[in-house]
Structure 1
Amino acid sequence: MRLAATGIEVLDVELARISPEQNPRDFLRFLEAGAELGARHVITQLPDPDRVRKIDRFAQLCELARPLGLTVDLEFPSWTETPDLREAVRVLRGADQPNAGILVDLLHFARSGSSVADLRQLPTEWFHFVHVCDAPAGVPATNEGLIHTARFERLFPGEGGIDVHGILAALPPGLPYALEIPRATLVAQVGGKEHARLAIATARGVLDRATLERAAQ
């Protein structure tokens, strides 16, 4: 079955991870495929310790994506060389591209120690969507532990220690919420379809309550 026949829209594609050894043009076919699927955004990560080089390559990726109607949204996992909001901001300011953005993944934001106050000060046009999830309050002591939680054991919103409402309230209103909640243990117990249903139902309940509470203030 073709995607168009399902009625499902593609919000974003991932991942353009630009290491020191890679050229942004390596991702051109990936960008073109995303555009063909109707995506509006592409997620990138910059695991490169050379700030000048990673800014230049981020700018190049933005230039490749712009004719395709794609924004390039920089994600900042805490175990990479672009580990927090402040470093992501340095990249965007240095690249100075009209289709550049920052992707706030609630797990990465919380684990990196990034500041909600800093988030509120940034241009609203930098934000195109947000990855929503929760996670245990305890932060793993190793990169391996951080990566395992991020890829296999996130929690539904409201179940963990992340300030879900506080972070979302600091972002521009009306952003699409993309649920990124891989949870291998639960999937093994109930199956992928039920996991997806629970994720949507739980997130909708938590986020709807937060919206009503803000409206009442």
Structure 2
Amino acid sequence: MKRALGLGHFTFLDLPPAELVRLARRSGFDFVGLRFHPVSAGALHWLPDAAGLRELARVMQGEGIGLYDIETVVIDQGLEPETLVPAMDAASALGGKRVNVCADVFPGLAETFARIGGLAANRGLGLDLECMAWRGINTPRACLDLIEASGVSGAAYLVDTLHHSRCGGTPADIAQMPAGRVVSAQLCDAPATAPSSIEAFLAEARGGRLVPGEGGLDLAGIVESLPAETVISVELPSATDKRPPLERARAIFSATSALLAPE
């Protein structure tokens, strides 16, 4: 049976949500993730107003494409958790399940994480926490420790294949995680050799990801280590792949499907 596969908004961040939904359907994907929260102040995001939300729901229903998660919340000392409520409300209204977060280290981080987890839980949403090499929470172990310290029952470690690999994670690390700690995964490929500076890490994550099979990450090993029920999406922003969106999306879908169900 074909495994459901999602298309993360970061792969085509310039597309409005309704266009991403239509692209997902035409290229074979089953659901989408949407950028409803800016990664930094003033950064591009697509949180709709009330009318836009109704129209997006209509398009999603018509295309048969669901919403799985929203992104990206950077938990830093300046974040006020209640500012996330509009994005969480929109996600809940569309049937979303998860909120993607990453975090820096600061006094009170666990308490802030717990507040965010409570706001999410009140709307039927869980949290997926990913490590990033340039953030304070920069290893899989640090993610698990924060989840444990916060007591957020609906939180899990987000296996982003790029970040997991660049933060020193292995397939064995995933396989050894406690039950329920891995709910979602985001796939992409990248060169086997890691960048040598923070600037290069950022450039790779934001525009240097590769289609599965075109790089040197142990994607097969990571996929094999995932719990059977893991929800899998593709997050693959590229600054160099200039193919039209539909051509590119279909190529990504084909390569990822081959990875998930090799002959």
Aligned to 2:90: 33
Instruction: Considering fraction of residues, name the structure with more helix.
Output: 1
Does residue 125 (structure 1) correspond to residue 164 (structure 2)? The answer is no
Aligned to 1:215: none
Q: Which residue identity lines up with residue 92 of structure 2 in the other structure?
A: A
Normalising to structure 1: TM-score of the pair? 0.90
Q: Which residue identity lines up with residue 121 of structure 2 in the other structure?
A: R
Q: Which residue identity lines up with residue 208 of structure 1 in the other structure?
A: A
SS at match of 2:240: helix
Which structure is richer in relative contact order (CA contacts within 8 A, separation 6 or more)? Answer: 2
The Cα shift of 1:150 comes to 1.0
Aligned to 2:112: 57
SS at match of 1:127: coil
Does residue 16 (structure 1) correspond to residue 73 (structure 2)? The answer is yes
191, 195, 201: which one aligns with 2:244: 191
Aligned to 1:77: 132
1:135-174 to 2 correspondences below 5 Å? 135-174=190-229
1:84 and 1:168 map into 2 onto residues whose CA distance is 19
SS at match of 1:204: helix
**Could you tell me whether the CA contact under 8 Å between 2:223 and 2:260 is conserved in 1?**
no
Aligned to 1:44: 101
Per-residue Cα deviation, 1:65-112 (whole angstroms, up to 9, x for no partner): 112110111011111111110100110110122211110100000001
1:115 and 1:162 map into 2 onto residues whose CA distance is 10
Which stretch of structure 1 is more off in the superposition, 162-171 or 105-114?
A: 162-171
171, 176, 179: which one aligns with 2:234: 179
Aligned to 2:27: none
Matched length: 206
Q: CA RMSD in A?
A: 1.4
Q: Which residue identity lines up with residue 83 of structure 2 in the other structure?
A: D
1:206 and 1:118 map into 2 onto residues whose CA distance is 20
The Cα shift of 1:4 comes to 2.3
Aligned to 2:44: none
2:123 and 2:240 map into 1 onto residues whose CA distance is 38
**Which 5+ residue runs of structure 1 have no aligned equivalent?**
213-217
The Cα shift of 1:119 comes to 2.2
Q: Which residue identity lines up with residue 204 of structure 1 in the other structure?
A: S
**Could you tell me whether the CA contact under 8 Å between 2:99 and 2:127 is conserved in 1?**
yes
The Cα shift of 1:174 comes to 2.8
1:192 and 1:142 map into 2 onto residues whose CA distance is 30
2:96 and 2:113 map into 1 onto residues whose CA distance is 19
**Which 5+ residue runs of structure 2 have no aligned equivalent?**
1-54
Which stretch of structure 1 is more off in the superposition, 142-151 or 100-109?
A: 142-151
Aligned to 2:254: 201
The Cα shift of 1:116 comes to 3.1
Q: Which residue identity lines up with residue 94 of structure 2 in the other structure?
A: L
2:259 and 2:87 map into 1 onto residues whose CA distance is 35
